[in-house]
Copies of this chain bind each other. A is one copy, B any other.
Amino acid sequence: MHKILYIPGPVEVRKDVLEKMSTPLVGHRTKEFAELFHDVKGKLKQLFYTENPVMVSTSSGSGFMEAAMRNLVGKKVLNCVCGSFSDKWYNIAIRCGKEAEKLEVDWGKAIKPDMIEEKLSTGEFDAICVTHNETSTGVMHHLEEISEVVKNYPDVMFLVDAVSSLGGAKIEVDKLGIDMCITSSQKALALPPGIALASVSEKALERAKQIPGRGYYFDLLELKKMYDKDNTPYTPSVSHLYALKYQLDRMLEEGLENRFKRHERLAEKTRKWGKKLGFELFPETGYESVTVSCFSDTKGMDLSKMKELMGERGFSVDSGYRKLNNKLADAGKPMTFRIAHMGDTTEEDLDTLFGAYEEVFPKVGGA
């Protein structure tokens, strides 16, 4: 039995989208491929609200997070850390041999513009990493406010991990001055995992030229060279590109603004439902994500059992991000559980999901 995915990625992929993965293949050095890629390029620019190229990588989002470090950090990078995935980006920087510093807040809290201002004003940094939506805690940062600060430091590369938000929340890349904005296929785009996407500014490409050791696979200049020829440096996952093209068409048909509004409605509905049942939102007020809701289990439920019983009902759900729950356990605080409401999920889908949760909660100590 297939379990419908409500974990915060990979999310459920519609049958018609999934079927595109089985499209018979073409060689990637053919006219047919160039036409496909050209079409995708144009639509990605709309999705990212940018005039800059949006590159496609056959990798997970982590691959492009590594690309950002290898290509764009010359001096020192400031990593805004507020959960597991933002912490991972810091670790990637270190593993790539880059000098990096954490600007850290407690998990569940958000990084504020004035904290960033204080750090950047030292002049030590030539790049900043911001995780727009910290999937482990359900915190979504205010990119507009952060952008206002970073804009005052033109030598600082503004790097944004929008892996679990882009396509579900409006991110106007050019207006915000983001130099590299990264996302993945398997989150708010509701595609199978396997490719990552990233917009890259002119300024970023200029910076890359000065950074040695960029390697080959994630070299932004190599990607750009082939991008201009409607192609990729290496053999890409053509199957994913077929599905991406189809899904971009669907998204534009829905209308991006409508899509973002739907995500807001889903988030609002989920928060209201959870609170009504007596759970608290884990993220700091005002920073709750529109793509994933993270609840504190204020009732001390058996979360593993909950996951198991939801599985029996045909739903793949989260029983709390392991590292976060370990931290909370150490601090004697309630555990968390997360519900993803991104991609192609509808309000009716959530009604069905919530019905199942409400059946299960009384059996696991949550009534």
**Contact B237–A194 (Cβ < 8 Å):** yes
Nearest B residue (CB) for A232: B60
Q: Do B239 and A239 have beta carbons less than 8 Å apart?
A: yes
Within 8 Å of chain B (Cβ to Cβ): is A316? yes
Could you mark each residue 211-226 of chain A with 1 if its beta carbon is under 8 Å from any beta carbon of chain B, else 0? 0111111110000000
Chain B hits for A355, CB < 8 A: none
> Which of A26-34, A74-82, A137-145 contacts the other chain?
A26-34
A74 to chain B, nearest CB (A): 15
Is A173's beta carbon under 8 Å from chain B?
A: no
A236 to B195, CA, bound (A): 9
Contact between chains at A27 and B10 (CB < 8 Å): yes
Residues of A189-224 whose CB lies within 8 A of B? 192-194, 212-219
Within 8 A of B (CB), among A94-143: 95-97
Bound Cα distance from A233 to B13, whole angstroms:
22
**Do residues B27 and A22 form an inter-chain contact, with CB atoms below 8 A?**
no
A168 within 8 A of B: no
- Oligomeric state, in copies: 2
Q: Which residues of B contact A12 (CB under 8 A)?
A: 25
Residues of chain A from 301 to 318 with CB closer than 8 A to chain B in the complex: 316
Q: State whether B192 touches A238 (Cβ < 8 A).
A: yes
Contact flag A316-B95 (CB < 8 Å), given A60-B58, A63-B217, A217-B62: no
**Chain A interface, DSSP helix/strand/loop, else mixed:** loop
Is there a chain B Cβ closer than 8 Å to A229's Cβ? Answer: no
Judging by beta carbons under 8 Å apart, are B27 and A7 in contact? Answer: yes
Asked whether B25 lies within 8 Å of A13 as measured between CB atoms, the reply is yes
- Given contact pairs A10-B235, A237-B237, A26 touches B91 in the complex (Cβ within 8 A): no
Given known A-B contacts A10-B238, A184-B235, A238-B192, A219 and B95 have beta carbons under 8 A apart = yes
Asked if B27 and A5 make an inter-chain contact with CB atoms under 8 angstroms apart, the answer reads: yes
Say yes or no for A70: interface residue by CB 8 A criterion.
yes
Instruction: Please pick, from B3, B61, B66, B237, the residue contacting A192 in the complex, using a CB distance under 8 A.
Output: B237
Q: How far is the CA of A265 from the CA of B212 in the complex (A)?
A: 47
- Which residues of B sit under 8 angstroms from A60, Cβ to Cβ? 58, 217, 234-236
Do A193 and B59 form a contact, CB below 8 Å, given A7-B27, A27-B10, A216-B92?
no
A339 interface residue (CB < 8 Å to B): no
A88 closest partner in B (C-beta): B216
- In the assembled complex, A240 has its CB within 8 A of some CB on chain B: yes
The 8 A-B residue pairs with the shortest CB-CB distance in the complex, in nearest-first order = A194-B237, A21-B21, A60-B234, A2-B24, A97-B213, A62-B234, A193-B235, A92-B216
22 residue pairs from A and B, CB less than 8 Å apart: A10-B28, A10-B238, A18-B23, A20-B22, A25-B186, A30-B316, A62-B233, A63-B217, A66-B215, A95-B214, A95-B215, A95-B219, A97-B212, A97-B213, A192-B237, A192-B238, A193-B236, A194-B194, A194-B237, A194-B240, A237-B237, A239-B239
